[in-house]
Amino acid sequence: MTTIATVDKDRILLNWAAQNPLLTDALLFLYLGDYAGSCAIVPIQGDVVKKWYVDGSSVRVYDFAMQLTQPVSSTTDDVNIANMYIQRQWADWITEQQEAGNYPDFGPKCSGYSLELLSNMPTLAQLYENGLGKYQFYARLKYEEER
């Protein structure tokens, strides 16, 4: 069974995540800039049905990555540690939103939201030739949607 989206969930998620006061730049969607401090939210699987009910309602998940570009160091300085700390703070912000009940609002047909981190720590996902690296962690927004 397929449904037609009634709201722009991608835009709503972006605007919600952009509330994070720890972001180092404007939060972009599906694009991470090639400069230090660039921030992005990237859907991993968005709005996937995990369970259908007889009445047509469903339990859905929207998995996403929060990404950050930062300089990477090959020395004994603390640059890489500082980068991980920034990402850990971002992940803590996600956890704080769960605890506060602050979720993206996908409209009146959606309820029962929950947020969870999908990894216990951020990772250095990619190294670039210009000395920057892509740091990221994964999170999941779970919710119920009425038909």
Q: How far apart are CA 56 and CA 34, in angstroms?
A: 43
pLDDT value, residue 47: 82
pLDDT value, residue 6: 72
pLDDT value, residue 140: 97
Q: How far apart are CA 115 and CA 136, in angstroms?
A: 17
pTM for this entry: 0.90
Taking the alpha carbons at both ends of the chain, their separation in whole angstroms is 11
Please check whether residue 38 is in contact with residue 25, taking contact to mean a CB–CB distance below 8 angstroms.
yes
Please check whether residue 93 is in contact with residue 16, taking contact to mean a CB–CB distance below 8 angstroms.
no
| 147 residues of the chain, pLDDT tens digit each | 455 557 999 999 999 999 999 999 999 999 999 999 999 999 998 789 999 999 999 999 999 999 999 999 999 999 999 999 999 999 999 999 999 999 999 999 999 999 999 988 899 999 999 999 999 999 999 999 998
